């Protein structure tokens, strides 16, 4: 089944572990591949909104700190430095392909307030109409609960709702949802399609992911549930090789597809 066939508006969520090396520095080769693929999605006629993490890691790398930020204050300070680094990089890579990016920083209180959510919705629609690629992150430096609400996995579901997405693609550091942790069990099986998100599905999610990302599989499943309830499907694929997005564009089935709720 070609999951993208009738999807015009696509939210693509990319996490810190995809965008950075283990030492926290930006993985430029991967980011370049990601940007090029997204640019091609646009060229093929899709409308794309990116939800990008990486601000904390980029700030940490820029300041060459001796250890990765641990406290909330340190993370917020690193995000303040790193967010502009991140946008500078997206801006320069997307410019090479003739695309314009726009930064949107969200906080939980925006999501919770229907009036403010409506304002953001209008901004998304207007930017997309103008042909821009909105790039969203949490406004980490001014908010402390953002990270609490499931990080950018959850944010991607709300962004999907706000911009009226047809699908959300979550680039993860794992191929999709397995019936048990594939890092521990050799016989773990990848689930290619989830029709209903129930307790059994949730029980498949192991612990957190890498030390640099904030989510784990459970935050992705919770995000998929929020999206599914709002009528938006979610696809989780491995972001290690961003060119795999072309497989999605070509209608090949990879990763785990969470169907929308009927
Ligand atoms: N907003 C955080 C950042 O940009 C990451 C949150 C997450 O990865 O979920 O570093």
- Token pair, residue 50, equals 């990116």
Domain locations along the chain: 9-258
- Token pair, residue 249, equals 């564009």
Helical axes 217-229 vs 151-163, angle rounded to 10°: 20
CA distance 230 to 240: 28
CA distance 70 to 4: 39
Burial 15-52 (b: 16+ CB within 10 A, else e): bbbbbbeeebebbeebbebbbbbbbbbbeeebbbbbbb
Task: Determine whether the shortest distance from the Cβ of 51 to ligand 1 is under 6 A.
Answer: no
pLDDT digits (tens, 9 = 90+) for 214-259: 457 889 999 999 999 999 999 999 999 999 999 998 989 999 999 9
Residue 62 has a pLDDT of: 93
Q: Which of 24, 136, 151 to mutate to test the pocket of ligand 1 (most atoms within 8 A of CB)?
A: 151
Residue 82, CA distances (Å) to 76, 77, 130, 148 in order:
10, 9, 27, 20
Residue 145 has a pLDDT of: 67
- Token pair, residue 148, equals 């609490």
CATH of region 9-258: 3.40.1160.10
Residue 210 has a pLDDT of: 44
- Token pair, residue 113, equals 């307030």
Ligand 1 nearest atom to the CA of residue 137, by list position: 1
Ligand 1 nearest atom to the CA of residue 153, by list position: 9
Residue 74 has a pLDDT of: 95
Mean pLDDT by 10 residues, the chain (262 residues): 86 94 88 96 96 94 92 94 96 97 93 92 97 96 69 93 96 91 87 94 69 66 96 95 92 94 82
- Token pair, residue 217, equals 């599989």
Ligand 1 centre from 2 Cα, in Å?
Answer: 30
């Amino acid at each position: 089944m070609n999951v993208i066939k009738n999807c015009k508006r696509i939210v693509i969520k990319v996490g810190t572990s995809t965008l950075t090396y283990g030492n926290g520095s930006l993985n430029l080769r991967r980011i370049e591949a990601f940007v090029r693929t997204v640019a091609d999605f646009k060229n093929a006629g899709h409308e794309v909104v990116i939800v990008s993490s990486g601000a904390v890691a980029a700030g940490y790398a820029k300041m060459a700190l001796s250890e990765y930020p641990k406290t909330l204050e340190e993370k917020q300070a690193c995000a303040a430095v790193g967010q502009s680094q991140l946008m500078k990089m997206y801006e320069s890579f997307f410019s090479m392909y003739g695309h314009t990016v726009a930064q949107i920083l969200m906080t939980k209180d925006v999501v919770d307030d229907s009036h403010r959510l409506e304002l953001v919705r209008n901004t998304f629609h207007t930017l997309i109409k103008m042909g821009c690629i909105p790039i969203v992150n949490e406004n980490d430096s001014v908010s402390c609960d953002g990270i609490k609400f499931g990080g950018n996995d959850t944010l991607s579901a709300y962004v999907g709702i706000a911009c009226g997405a047809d699908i959300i693609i979550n680039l993860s550091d794992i191929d999709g949802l397995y019936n048990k942790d594939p890092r521990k069990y050799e016989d773990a099986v990848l689930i290619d399609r989830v029709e209903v998100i129930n307790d059994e599905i949730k029980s498949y999610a192991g612990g957190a992911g890498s030390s640099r990302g904030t989510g784990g599989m459970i935050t992705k499943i919770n995000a998929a549930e929020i999206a599914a309830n709002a009528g938006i499907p979610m696809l989780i694929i491995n972001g290690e090789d961003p060119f795999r997005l072309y497989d999605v564009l070509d209608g090949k089935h990879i990763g785990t597809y969470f169907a929308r709720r009927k």
